[in-house]
Structure 1
Amino acid sequence: MIDYTHDGHVHTPFCPHGSTDSLNAYVEQAFAQGVRTLTFTEHAPLPERFIDPTPDQDSAMALDLLPRYIEEIGQLKRDYAERLEIRVGLEIDYLPGYVDETLALLEPYRSYLDETILSQHFLQVEGELLPVDFSPETFDTLVSRIGSFEEVLRRYYEALETGLEFPWERLNVTRIGHIDLPIKYQTNYSWDRANVKDAESRLLRTIASRGFGLDFNTAGLRKAACGQPYAMAVAAEATRLGIPLVLGSDAHIAADVGADFKNMQKKATFL
């Protein structure tokens, strides 16, 4: 069963591509939306050797801000303990070729983290990591380099499946973020999901075998070329495999906390 009072994917003013909305504003919006459990999952700092390939180089929180982030969310957790369950988390990037560095960088903070999300925002093409969701233009470059939208999604699934071989439990990973992120731009292309079904199902079976859940992410509803939540198309199969689904707004502004959760509760009656 899905808990419609838990927003499990929320960003903060520590996000360099987010907003300056205060942490208290996120909490107040949670109350307004009937959210009773709030997991803050800021983009985790990236390894020093990794060069952010996005044009703005603003993908993640700076490492020197991580202790303050943990401290401020921890204080918020204490301040609202009587009214709201707040969890300290991170959204961790799977970066092929940088996994050992990612683990070494973040493992010292594990004891402060209640739960984390493992996500993939970059895809390797001929040895180069390219952004998946920065803009329609950068995504179109990705499609051109790989050959088709379907092939991008297939490779996205295959790369993520390979990434699950690593010991992410060392960073308290509990679920996989926006499993089908490339659909952010799906209406810009002609494609058939049936053509990536084999790779999709293999990935879901791997996720189930690892005991991870899925981020059931409503941000896709707020993206003009997407029009559906991330993971919606795989939700029924995931449920049959025993994979837990955790709603996440992926809010980067306070107003988006709990966004579309009530509509999801009405529509997702098959879960």
Structure 2
Amino acid sequence: MFNFTHDGHVHTPFCPHGTNDPIEHYIQVGIEKGLQTMTFTEHAPFPLSFTDPVPNQDSAMSIDLLPEYLDTLHQMKQQYQAVIDIKVGLEVDLLPHLEKETIALLKPFAPLIDEVILSQHFLYRDGAYMPIDYSAETFDELIKAFGSFESVLRAYYESIEQGLSFSWEDIRVARIGHLDLPIKYQRNYEWDRSKVKEEEIRLLQMIADRGFGLDFNTAGLRKPDCGVPYVAGLAKSANDLHIPFTMGSDAHLAQDVAAGFDFIEQKKATFL
């Protein structure tokens, strides 16, 4: 069920909130860690009608950089083809009410892309987009707006479920990223996953019906207020529905490529 030779969620120096580590450095770390496949999934440009709500407006690369990003990765794909399989990808934001615009913006580039992760980083509330994973302080604003940790997670699941009704296959979406992202701040709150189980199962069933996989994302292990991989808490339910997992480090610096994979390999039986 787990393939520890593929890191399917890796960022690059094209990420405005990442590091300047060269792509070659990411690849070399992957090779050293025994990877056979790496999928680079930089944050895709937003539709022009979307205003990034985080203070530095640095959540994604600009549309002007997308051709250079794709060209660079295709060069890497050729350069390293005898050593490691480089897949050209994107992490595309599921933006409520802007799904059609997102697909239209990226569809012309789809022939150049191997696979896409569809992720949600913002919740829509009272006419505004609120960041989910920017900081503990902004997440607390979500808690106040929705009323409880469970209410935030429930709204997150329901928003993704509604967004999945669009034609994401047109831009090569293969899997859904960090499906329970709000747990990034779970240690700051008392909460009970069983209270959102109904919404969780309904969303997983829709993902299974659409044929998408899940990003088994180890970044949560590196977040002090989380301490567990994203998706670990719902992995058994997903596995029961035969939803495939792809390991993802969500590395924003080269040294984090395949980070936590050894831990998951040791503990994999506990997740399923």
TM-score bracket for the superposition, by shorter chain length: over 0.9
Q: SS in structure 2 opposite 1:220?
A: helix
Name the counterpart of 2:259: 259
Question: What letter is aligned with 1:257?
Answer: V
Name the counterpart of 2:244: 244
Name the counterpart of 2:69: 69
Q: Percent identity?
A: 56
Name the counterpart of 2:192: 192
Name the counterpart of 1:215: 215
- Describe the superposition over 1:131-168 as per-residue Cα deviations: whole angstroms up to 9, x where unpaired: 00000011011111111111000000000000110000
Q: SS in structure 1 opposite 2:269?
A: coil
CA drift of 1:104 comes to 1.1
TM-score using structure 2 length: 0.98
Question: What letter is aligned with 2:207?
Answer: I
Task: List structure 1 runs of 4+ shifted beyond 6 angstroms.
Answer: none
In the alignment, the residues of structure 1 paired with residue 169 and residue 11 of structure 2 have an alpha-carbon distance, to the nearest angstrom, of 21
CA drift of 1:196 comes to 0.6
1:173 partnered with 2:156: no
Name the counterpart of 2:102: 102
CA drift of 1:269 comes to 2.2
Question: What letter is aligned with 2:25?
Answer: A
- Describe the superposition over 1:23-67 as per-residue Cα deviations: whole angstroms up to 9, x where unpaired: 010001101211110000000000111000111110001100000
1:34 partnered with 2:22: no
Name the counterpart of 2:131: 131
Larger deviation, residues 96-105 vs 214-223 = 96-105
CA drift of 1:209 comes to 0.4
1:140 partnered with 2:140: yes
Name the counterpart of 1:82: 82
In the alignment, the residues of structure 2 paired with residue 146 and residue 126 of structure 1 have an alpha-carbon distance, to the nearest angstrom, of 11
CA RMSD of aligned residues (A): 0.7
CA drift of 1:99 comes to 1.2
Name the counterpart of 2:7: 7
Larger deviation, residues 168-177 vs 261-270 = 261-270
1:18 partnered with 2:18: yes
Question: What letter is aligned with 2:66?
Answer: L
Name the counterpart of 1:231: 231
Q: SS in structure 1 opposite 2:90?
A: strand
- Describe the superposition over 1:65-89 as per-residue Cα deviations: whole angstroms up to 9, x where unpaired: 0000000000000000000000000
- Describe the superposition over 1:234-269 as per-residue Cα deviations: whole angstroms up to 9, x where unpaired: 111111101000000000000000001111111002
In the alignment, the residues of structure 2 paired with residue 247 and residue 139 of structure 1 have an alpha-carbon distance, to the nearest angstrom, of 26
Question: What letter is aligned with 2:152?
Answer: V
In the alignment, the residues of structure 2 paired with residue 232 and residue 127 of structure 1 have an alpha-carbon distance, to the nearest angstrom, of 32
1:52 partnered with 2:52: yes
Question: What letter is aligned with 2:23?
Answer: L
TM-score using structure 1 length: 0.99
